[in-house]
Amino acid sequence: MLRRLLAPALLFPTTLAAQNAATVHRNPAVRTALEQLRTENEWTLEQQASICAVPAPSFKELRRAEEFRRRLAALGLRDVRFDSIGNVVARRPGTGRGPTVMISGHLDTVFPESIDVRVTREGRVLRGPGIGDDCRGLAVVLAVARAMQRANVRTRGDVLFVGTLGEEGEGNLRGVRHIFREGAARPDYFISVDGTGYGITNRAVGSHRYRVTFSGPGGHSHGDFGMPNPVHALGRAIAGIAELQVPETPKTTFSVGVIHGGTSVNSIAMSATMDVDLRSESSLQLDSLDARVRRAIDKAVADEKARWPGSGAPLEVSLVSLGERPAGALPDNDPIVLAALDAARVLGISTKLGASSTDANIGIALGLQAITIDGGGSSAGTHSLAESYDDSESGWRGPQWALLVVARLAGMP
């Protein structure tokens, strides 16, 4: 907590008070870097497409991580390495007496290794699984690093360029958890670039995810009829969950995303499983929803047993956590939020604050200076095989925005 009170707003007052985005924007080196991002936008798109062609399912990101590390090293950054769990970290030293700023994209995708992740292109539109989420973020990180190197942009604080592991699904933010809780590279400011558009995430959507398994002895659908059926119990649980009422504000949601079980059409299943996703912007609402879902599951078991009181056959249920993401929010007037808004204003970018579940969740929940910004352009079909990225609406403004936010927060000599 002491770190939160002292850094970075009080430890580095001149960085934020004296140097707004307009001041940083007038710096000749910064202006050169911004112009390069516009005129050499094709380089950014090539990075986005080519790195997306390297498969990177959660927990199997090594090939893409190695390629991302190679590209950062080729830009001349220092100390380009894997940390102890496999995040890629590269350092661009500052002149001293400034805050450390980290800008990151996540390496993993939701797609298994069997999916063809090669990218096709039609004019300014790129198509391929993961092309927007988060190959766009990785490309923006590379583009910002390249522009700062080529234009010799000097900053007071160090800038860390990072590719994180395990942002998606059951990855459970494992890469950024390590950075904030265990890593030696913990920054004063953290900026995740995730997805497309021009939004700012300063509210973290928390989540609880479970694998729920109903189990019993099973048997023949006709010969053993009259015993509790795990599949029927699962159906009762889903019906109970579907009837739950949740608030619109703060937005709170639930979903049964995957179900499976049974061996044949003429069998009473021995087990049936469902994966449940619960989300909210409020920790209190998330905990409340969690408790109600658990009650719905317990009631489903009790009702299925009561349906067949004379069978004597057991019916059990188990819950296994698939991960928890903390909820939280940074005030709209926190320094890092104001820096992102200020940079967008200077560049003529229309933006708004919002809520999402991203790598910034961990920093936000800890009360640290962490946000997620979009990477510019637009996308469609996120998390689907038809995912696409459209750069036709001045997508280069995304990397420009990221660079100006980084330079403002790190401070100019």
Give the tokens for residue 83. Answer: 């940390």
Q: Among candidates 186, 267, 266, 262, which has minimal Cα distance to 231?
A: 262
pLDDT for the residue 15: 43
199 and 211 belong to one structural domain = no
Task: Report CA-CA distances (Å) from 21 to 189, 336, 339, 409.
Answer: 16, 12, 7, 9
165 and 88 belong to one structural domain = yes
Task: Report CA-CA distances (Å) from 224 to 7, 229, 311, 337.
Answer: 67, 10, 10, 62
Distance in angstroms (rounded) separating the CA atoms of residues 356 and 281: 8
| Residue 56 DSSP code | -
Distance in angstroms (rounded) separating the CA atoms of residues 360 and 372: 6
281-295 in b/e form (b: 16+ CB < 10 A) is bbeebbeebbebbee
167 and 250 belong to one structural domain = no
184 and 318 belong to one structural domain = no
Burial, 124: exposed, middle or buried (Cβ in 10 Å; 0-12, 13-18, 19+)?
middle
Q: Which residues of the chain have pLDDT under 70?
A: 1-18, 183-185
Number of structural domains in the chain: 2
pLDDT for the residue 247: 97
End position of a domain, from candidates 325, 358, 376: 325
181 and 211 belong to one structural domain = no
End position of a domain, from candidates 276, 309, 325: 325
Q: Cβ–Cβ contacts within 10 Å for residue 240, how many?
A: 18
Q: Among candidates 177, 47, 50, 169, which has minimal Cα distance to 112?
A: 169
95 and 211 belong to one structural domain = no
pLDDT for the residue 109: 97
In this prediction the pTM is 0.90
> 205: which residues sit within 8 A by CB, 6+ positions away?
251, 279, 280, 281, 325, 327, 355, 356, 357, 361
Give the tokens for residue 274. Answer: 């469902």
Instruction: Kindly report the CATH number assigned to the domain that includes residue 272.
Output: 3.30.70.360
Give the tokens for residue 138. Answer: 């990785």
171 and 210 belong to one structural domain = no
CB 391 within 8 A of CB 75: no
154 and 272 belong to one structural domain = no
In degrees, rounded to 5, the angle at the alpha carbon of residue 28 between the alpha carbons of residues 27 and 29 is 95
**CA quadruple 299, 305, 308, 309: dihedral positive or negative?**
negative
Q: Side-chain half-sphere of 340: how many Cα atoms within 13 Å?
A: 31
213 and 172 belong to one structural domain = no
Radius of gyration of the chain (CA): 24
- Condensed to tens digits (0 to 9), the pLDDT of residues 249-269 reads 999 999 999 999 999 999 999
What is the end-to-end Cα distance of the chain in Å, rounded?
29
Distance in angstroms (rounded) separating the CA atoms of residues 294 and 268: 24
154 and 295 belong to one structural domain = no
187 and 238 belong to one structural domain = no
**Peptide bond just before 250 cis, omega within 30 deg:** yes
pLDDT for the residue 97: 86
pLDDT for the residue 49: 98
pLDDT for the residue 99: 96
348: left (phi over 0), alpha (psi -120 to 50) or beta: left
Instruction: Kindly report the CATH number assigned to the domain that includes residue 346.
Output: 3.40.630.10
End position of a domain, from candidates 265, 291, 325: 325
| Residue 260 DSSP code | E
Question: Concatenated DSSP letters for 295-327?
Answer: HHHHHHHHHHHHHSTTS----EEEEEEEEEE--
Q: Which domain holds residue 292?
A: 206-325
178 and 304 belong to one structural domain = no
